[in-house]
Copies of this chain bind each other. A is one copy, B any other.
Amino acid sequence: MKAADLPTPCALVDLDVVERNTARMAERAAALGVRLRPHVKTHKCLEAARLQVRGMRGPITVSTLAEARFFADEGFDDITYAVAVAPSRLPDIRDLVKRVDRLNLLVDHPGTIDRLEDDARHHGVLYRVFLEVDCGYHRAGVDPMSSDALELANRLASSKRLELQGILTHAGHAYASRNADEIRRVAAQERDVTIGFAQRLRDAGISVSEVSVGSTPTMCLAEDLTGVTEMRPGNYVFFDAFQAAIGSCAVDDVAFSIAAEVIGQYPAQNRLLVNAGALAFSKDPGACHLDASCGYGIVQSLDGRASYPDLRLFSLSQEHGQITSDRPIAWSELPIGTKLRILPNHSCLAAACFDCYEVLRGDQVVDRWHPVRGW
């Protein structure tokens, strides 16, 4: 089957581009001298993860316990669950710990440690933990300069039930960058703060084996990761319009797109309507800090060869997408039924809208991948 024959809306994955993206990141990790522990949260499917780990059974990073179970079922045995533990999920976590060689958990709060220690003691298990550190994103993690951070690390180091693996951070603030230079500066900060914190702990007599960093922007552009042991980028498998806007990648590196179809023309308002809306693209607003009117994606011809830089997907309702242009739309070139390829702002959120991805080599559909859902 050809891409042009697929009913719309559907999710497209360009396999050549995924292979190139995954190979490049593996090369970068090797060149920078760190282990690649790729995040699988963007695609959540086996085939893409296998390309990321190049045939190995890990290591990987997951964002949900559903992903952890799915990949454990498929033989992956070294998994970092990169969201701080929620106490209500301890039964699931316990079950996973028994099934994989390594399940690494995140902690950054004494309350979480209390719950983990109680559970470990009660059930006779040992939990492997990373202390999450805030390198400037301010979403999660201990303040690396605080006394609390040192206290927590000491507590973990001396715990009989928790085994401190090291420290971990995520430079999510890289997404506020405006260009590659700014991303490089965040990457340097991510490394400096993290290795600085590792040193502070080591100076206090705490063993820190692992220093784990990573976001797609910073890992695409980091120039030096001395002192770091592993990187955890994820979005780079697919990239998206946001990553292209801030300079993590080129538009040609975006491997994930949504095929949508023209279902309405409204010349009086210079508007087109397509049959894909918020349930296909998500409502991620994109790189608004660079272009407040960026809309919800980059519009291309279905084969990806022609771009329509003037077409702007400016509004999404549940199943409708509205496209406009600063110039008069070429109605005869975009009749009812015209299929378009639209690169979403945020491939992690858009991919999660789909039960399967149609995998392409050029214009041929060669496979169908099924992501895992839920928590």
A interface list, Cβ under 8 A from B:
6-10, 41, 63-64, 83-89, 91-92, 108-109, 111-112, 114-115, 138-140, 143, 146, 172, 261, 263-266, 268-269, 271, 273, 275, 278-279, 282-285, 315, 317-320, 322, 335-337, 339, 348-349, 352-355, 373-375
Contacts and interface: CB of A to CB of B under 8 A. Distances in A.
Contact of A92 (B7, B317, B354): B7
Nearest to A92: B7
Nearest to A110: B336
Contacts of A322: 139
Contact of A349 (B41, B143, B261, B283): B283
Given A283-B349, A337-B88, A83 B265 contact: no
Contacts of A146: 268
Given A41-B318, A41-B319, A354-B374, 13 more contacts: A10-B375, A83-B263, A83-B275, A83-B319, A84-B273, A109-B264, A111-B265, A114-B336, A139-B315, A140-B264, A279-B352, A285-B285, A352-B353
Nearest to A106: B263
A232 to B, nearest CB: 13
Contacts of A374: 354-355
Contacts of A114: 336
Nearest to A356: B374
Given A317-B172, A320-B140, A88 B355 contact: no
B64 A319 contact: yes
A88 B8 contact: yes
Most chain B C-beta atoms within 10 Å of own C-beta, residue among A108, A273, A375: A375
Given A111-B335, A112-B336, A335-B111, A318 B349 contact: yes
